[in-house]
Chains A and B, each alone.
Chain A
């Protein structure tokens, strides 16, 4: 396997970085948790880290995945292994790392067999202590998922925020004229197709716990909303009416979801509670309203409406009140989606 090595760090800024982090620690985190990277700071610099190949079979592959994950975020510099003074088998010694300005070191072992058993330790050379020590066990086939979990734990230990490396993406792809729903890991690995009936399948949306997706499909000249449950691997129709029914985001409660429907004329937005089978209409304008995107806290819905003459992004409350337009440039703005912090929209 080709190693993906990251940039060699310029050791000159290491002292400044440390000073900066120290100040941040005093000012902003009196609770005691050290924050290694503050991405909102104008003085932000990548955090130099050393990630050893884990010792044992598959160790190189696991470490490679961890490095790729961390590297993708643009927040870390995985320091070239040629510059390591310490070897993998030697005990961790902070003095081998502080002169290089390396802020975190990962070492560990793998035991092969039917299951993979991994032990990792994350060290902080400047505080000369272990920040994270953890064991993992998984079937060999889950090596990528396990490596992503380790990367998540390292990320969380250093940033005090959850990582995204176990994220899976549902998408629609067309092959040989038939559209289908596929799922893959966030990094494009492990693409899996779900054999759903019908050739027209659109708009997959995850339930908040990641165990289900809802989507729209045209079957027998009707556009209905279906739900695929990954635990039971069953599909059921959850909403059907005349007109075009297009699945939107789930609400954080995991039971109700937003969608657009042309059942009462032009496309409007609705909420449907699956268990209670309760339908609520949110908009009733003369224009088209589509693609409801529910904010992470469930307190806002972003949508596309052409009530102003062209498709633009609007925001409203989940009951349909307080609707206001948020895009004014260009005459075709669509596909709103919330950042996980709920403070930004992409479209």
Chain B
């Protein structure tokens, strides 16, 4: 006697988590910091207020805050410092009412300078929190 065995097949597939991609629907100026500091200076607060209102009016986007440093100090220390800068900006935006779930942070330390010269002005531009607007990708 032959017993027919039925194999039940359960199909499944992994669904990709929602992907966010960079978009240029809005841009905000970089927030600049003093050397080895992560406090937000008064002259940066207007940009942050504008960013917070825009974020609250646009529910489908997320904000990525990148923390950057100048080239002084070790790569590791600067990654920790960049992280602090990004978090300081995040905390300020949250204090203005932006839900923290809308904000991602990422430190690049001194790894992605926008200015390569070793001048005072150039280093000042590199000590920044940079904003990237993310929207749901296809």
Q: Residues of A at under 8 Å CB distance from B?
A: 179, 200, 202-203, 218, 221, 223, 243-244, 246, 260, 262, 265-267, 288-291, 304, 306, 310-311, 332, 334-335
Contacts and interface: CB of A to CB of B under 8 A. Distances in A.
B64 interface: yes
Contacts of A221: 64, 104, 106
B129 interface: no
A300 B74 CA distance: 21
Given A200-B111, A223-B107, A267 B74 contact: no
Given A221-B106, A243-B83, A310-B36, A291 B111 contact: no
20 contacts: A200-B108, A202-B75, A218-B106, A221-B106, A244-B80, A244-B109, A262-B80, A262-B83, A266-B83, A267-B79, A288-B81, A290-B77, A290-B79, A290-B80, A291-B76, A304-B76, A306-B77, A311-B36, A334-B73, A335-B74
Interface in B77-96: 77, 79-84, 87
Contact of A260 (B64, B73, B80, B87): B80
Nearest to A245: B79
Given A221-B64, A223-B79, A244-B79, A311 B104 contact: no
Contacts of B80: 244, 246, 260, 262, 266-267, 288-290
Size bracket of the B interface: 20 to 34
Contacts of B81: 288
Interface of B: 36, 64, 72-77, 79-84, 87, 104, 106-109, 111
Contact of B74 (A179, A218, A290): A290
Nearest to A246: B76
A260 B111 contact: no
A332 B79 CA distance: 16
Given A203-B75, A262-B84, 17 more contacts: A200-B108, A200-B111, A202-B79, A243-B83, A244-B79, A244-B109, A246-B79, A262-B80, A262-B83, A265-B87, A288-B84, A290-B74, A291-B74, A304-B76, A306-B77, A311-B73, A335-B74
